[in-house]
């Protein structure tokens, strides 16, 4: 076949692009979300970069849609933190941290101006030697969009009871998990929850715990493990009956032996 013939064949047979290139942008975004949903924290942005490298259109989709930049993770480092906060615009943030306490201070400092758009915050840290009020100061700011909050101290008890978590203003909050944390149990963040896990915590009295639970009428999951009460103030008479009609999962275990049997009786109804 001569050059003229090859040119005619090419003109008569247009280049066939893969069907994926004709997908609507909305379907492409959903496909990307499915791919990224199974990515571990350290692999999320590397996988996002791989998707954007396929072609110019995919690069544009990744670059222009804030939802793909809505993860704020300790493992990504300051440069990517800044980029994610900029490109996510006003989109709700999913916040992940697992590391040392001294690293957490800088991490939360970067996040501080964006607390009002945090949707999920999961913090797990190990270490001591810092003034906890300084490290956790951003967690005392209002968080109107927050739905899930996990705070895990791997080393031991951390006292955050001098100030109220999120200023008591986290009205969308439905799930709270606290491990090794002592906070202001009167806080408004414990109202209206559906999931509550507290472990290795300290309550002033049994009455403080009952008042927390009384504000969670819609509670579906409750785990209270390895908690204790200060001094001898776990007086059974301090317990107030609690009605949790939606409760589906219950796990209870205390370090203090003097817990009234009525506690489980009331919660197991």
Those residues whose C-beta lies under 8 Å from the C-beta of residue 10, and which sit 6 or more positions away, are: none
d(CA 170, CA 142): 6
Q: What is the pLDDT of residues 10-43, one digit of tens each?
A: 455 555 556 667 778 888 889 899 989 888 888 8
Give 199's strand partners.
179, 225
Among the ranges given (1-5, 190-194, 235-239), the one the predictor scored with the smallest mean pLDDT: 1-5
- Please give the share of the chain, as a percent, with pLDDT higher than 90: 39
d(CA 41, CA 55): 24
Among the ranges given (171-175, 191-195, 228-232), the one the predictor scored with the smallest mean pLDDT: 228-232
d(CA 118, CA 216): 22
What would the two tokens of residue 73 be?
A: 């993770």
Question: pLDDT band at 210, cuts 50/70/90?
Answer: confident
User: Do residues 192 and 168 lie in contact, with contact meaning Cβ atoms separated by under 8 Å?
Assistant: no
HSE of 32, CA atoms in CB hemisphere, 13 A: 28
Q: What is the pLDDT of residues 85-94, one digit of tens each?
A: 999 999 999 9
Is residue 219's pLDDT more than 80? yes
d(CA 97, CA 265): 38
């Amino acid at each position: 076949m001569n050059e003229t013939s090859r040119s005619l064949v090419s003109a008569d047979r247009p280049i066939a692009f893969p069907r994926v290139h004709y997908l609507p942008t909305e379907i492409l975004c959903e496909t990307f979300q499915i791919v990224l949903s199974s990515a571990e924290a350290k692999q999320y942005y590397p996988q996002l970069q791989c998707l954007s490298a396929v072609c110019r259109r995919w690069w544009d989709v990744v670059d222009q849609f804030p939802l793909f930049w809505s993860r704020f993770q300790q493992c990504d480092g300051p440069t990517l933190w800044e980029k994610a906060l900029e490109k996510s615009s006003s989109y709700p943030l999913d916040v992940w941290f697992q590391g040392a306490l001294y690293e957490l201070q800088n991490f939360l400092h970067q996040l501080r101006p964006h607390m009002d758009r945090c949707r999920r915050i999961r913090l797990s840290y190990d270490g001591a030697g810092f003034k906890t009020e300084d490290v956790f100061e951003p967690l005392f700011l209002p968080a109107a969009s927050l739905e899930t909050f996990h705070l895990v101290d791997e080393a031991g008890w951390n006292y955050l009871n001098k100030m109220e978590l999120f200023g008591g203003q986290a009205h969308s909050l439905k799930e709270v998990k606290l491990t090794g944390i002592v906070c202001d149990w009167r806080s408004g963040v414990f109202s209206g929850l559906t999931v509550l896990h507290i472990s290795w915590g300290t309550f002033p009295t049994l009455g403080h715990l009952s008042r927390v639970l009384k504000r969670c009428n819609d509670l579906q999951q409750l785990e209270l493990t390895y908690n204790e009460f200060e001094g001898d103030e776990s007086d059974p008479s301090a317990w107030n009956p609690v009605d949790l009609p939606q409760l589906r999962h219950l796990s209870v275990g205390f370090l203090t032996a003097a817990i009234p049997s009525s506690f489980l009786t009331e919660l197991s109804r």
